[in-house]
A and B are shown apart, each in its own frame.
Chain A
Amino acid sequence: MPTDYDGYSVESDALLDEAKVWEDQALAIEQVGKYMGSLTFTRTGVFSHFIPKYYTLAHALMDRCSEGVRYMADNRDTLIYIANLYERTEMRLAQGIRYAEERR
């Protein structure tokens, strides 16, 4: 977790909170995909012409959900990376300023 060092954790916390949103919603959309996958027909019977087409769209949507999970996780990772990078950058800049002040 970021420290309150030099006050820039507010910004990085905001990014980490945003990353958490993506994590939660990636899990939610993963559940949606699994839910879709559970809606299968035990038998086809006289609906043999309709049900395969239903599966075609259901599977396409499940694929979209899988992509959504992957890209949402990418968003989460990117935001975490930016938050960490920002903290390191700010820390480095702050240290540079302090070092410059000490030398004066």
Chain B
Amino acid sequence: MGDGDAAAAVERIRTALQEFEKMPARADSAYRHAVGKVDDASEILGVLVEPLRMAIVRVKKMIDDTIREIDTGLGRGGLAAMFNGGSLASTFTVGDGAGGTTGSPGAGGFRGAGSTSGGPGGPDLLDQLMDGLDALAELKRYDDHWLRIRNQAATVAGRIEPAEKRLSRYWDGPAAKSYYGIVGDQGRAARQVGELAVKIATTMQTMSEYGDYFYGAVATFIVAMIGFLAAAISALFGVVTAPAAIGFLVGALTAFVAITQAYVIFFDKQDALGGVLEAEAGNPTGFDPGPSWPKASNLSTDVDPNDKDKKADWIPVRPTH
């Protein structure tokens, strides 16, 4: 390795370390953000972040050792020093979940994945991710179904609304007019079902887009970690150089930051989009003229022109007598 290569490698390593040093704080911040909202989701985040963080710590230690060996092998006696090893040691401390050099989150910074789910990176996390893929597929499928529901509800409205057109040739009077008003309410209710179905459909579309984004970040991270591990192992056997492995580490660390950010965004969107649907469900004026489906109340049944009041509320247009 020439001096120029070594200097470039050192620069990349330092950049990687700077990024890495930010990560516990970022992850803790993401976790606290989630904790502030919903325990379940924050638990997922904790389960997600902690094993990844620990994996990175272990892998970083491995490459640190590897570089030391390479350094020793090169006889330069200088690469390890260029790593600013003291900072590394504190940054990558594993055990209590505290953020190494960032320190402040303390033992509770990450909810102990081991204590809540039977082991870091255990089946709970994988189950959540795998189940989420099923849910994502259903989200993508169901938005079309809700649009079909909109069409069906609009068809119902379209069929009941022209009552006046159907009946006015035969019936007149206050009851008939009152009836046309009732029909209008019923039609609006059917259309409102359709409008809310559209809201569900579009919300599902948006949610599935954020799901894609989140799973994209997961996939990127997994690929980056695999690349880094492969490079790190290869570096042990001298197939690739340590700086090359560090390049993969940078990729893995970047992906880790991305997945943390993606989860925060994903969680926020679940909160926001779900909140929109929940608000519609609880909105007493949202189902105009609601809150319930309008009841056809007080519709007169007076058809007798010779009763006590000497007039009928339903009056035939074509007099029969």
Given contacts A11-B316, A74-B295, A78-B301, contact A49 B278 (CB under 8 A): no
**Cβ–Cβ < 8 Å partners of B277 in chain A:** 53-54, 56-57
**Cβ–Cβ < 8 Å partners of B318 in chain A:** 10-11
**Cβ–Cβ < 8 Å partners of A1 in chain B:** none
Q: When the two chains form their complex, are residues B146 and A49 in contact, meaning their CB atoms are under 8 A apart?
A: no
> Within residues 278 to 316 of chain B, which ones have a CB less than 8 A from any CB in chain A?
278, 280-282, 287, 290, 292-296, 299, 301, 303-304, 306, 314, 316
Q: How far is the CB of A11 from chain B (nearest CB, A)?
A: 5
Number of interface residues of B (CB under 8 A): 77
**Cβ–Cβ < 8 Å partners of A39 in chain B:** 142, 145-146
Q: How far is the CB of A56 from chain B (nearest CB, A)?
A: 5
**Cβ–Cβ < 8 Å partners of A97 in chain B:** 321
Stretch at the interface among B5-13, B113-121, B182-190: B182-190
Q: B131: which of A21, A43, A61, A94 is its contact (CB, 8 Å)?
A: A43
> Within residues 44 to 68 of chain A, which ones have a CB less than 8 A from any CB in chain B?
44-54, 56-61, 64-65, 67-68
Q: A8: which of B40, B197, B214, B316 is its contact (CB, 8 Å)?
A: B316
Q: How far is the CB of A81 from chain B (nearest CB, A)?
A: 6
Q: How far is the CB of B69 from chain A (nearest CB, A)?
A: 40
Number of interface residues of A (CB under 8 A): 59
Q: Which residue of A lies closest to B313 (CB)?
A: A82
Q: Is B24 an interface residue (CB 8 A)?
A: no
Q: Is B56 an interface residue (CB 8 A)?
A: no
**Cβ–Cβ < 8 Å partners of B271 in chain A:** 49
Given contacts A22-B160, A39-B142, contact A46 B129 (CB under 8 A): yes
Given contacts A31-B152, A35-B145, contact A14 B306 (CB under 8 A): no
Most buried by B among A6, A10, A44, A53: A53
**C-alpha gap A84/B316 in the complex (Å):** 14
**Cβ–Cβ < 8 Å partners of A70 in chain B:** 293
**Cβ–Cβ < 8 Å partners of A74 in chain B:** 295-296
Q: How far is the CB of A87 from chain B (nearest CB, A)?
A: 9
Q: When the two chains form their complex, are residues A49 and B131 in contact, meaning their CB atoms are under 8 A apart?
A: no
**C-alpha gap A35/B200 in the complex (Å):** 14
**C-alpha gap A1/B193 in the complex (Å):** 35
Q: When the two chains form their complex, are residues B293 and A44 in contact, meaning their CB atoms are under 8 A apart?
A: no
Q: Is B221 an interface residue (CB 8 A)?
A: no
**Cβ–Cβ < 8 Å partners of B267 in chain A:** 49
Q: Is B63 an interface residue (CB 8 A)?
A: no
**Cβ–Cβ < 8 Å partners of B167 in chain A:** 14-15, 18
Most buried by B among A52, A67, A70: A67
Can you list 16 pairs linking A and B with CB atoms under 8 Å apart?
A11-B318, A28-B156, A29-B153, A45-B135, A46-B214, A47-B270, A49-B40, A56-B282, A64-B193, A65-B293, A71-B186, A75-B182, A75-B186, A78-B299, A89-B304, A90-B320
Q: Shortest 3 CB-CB distances between A and B: which pairs?
A: A45-B132, A45-B131, A53-B274
A interface list, Cβ under 8 A from B: 6-8, 10-11, 14-15, 17-18, 21-22, 24-25, 28-29, 31-32, 35-36, 39, 41-54, 56-61, 64-65, 67-68, 70-72, 74-75, 78, 81-82, 85-86, 89-90, 93-94, 97
Given contacts A32-B153, A65-B293, A75-B186, 12 further A-B contacts (CB under 8 A): A14-B167, A21-B159, A32-B152, A43-B135, A45-B131, A46-B132, A48-B128, A57-B200, A61-B196, A61-B197, A75-B182, A85-B301
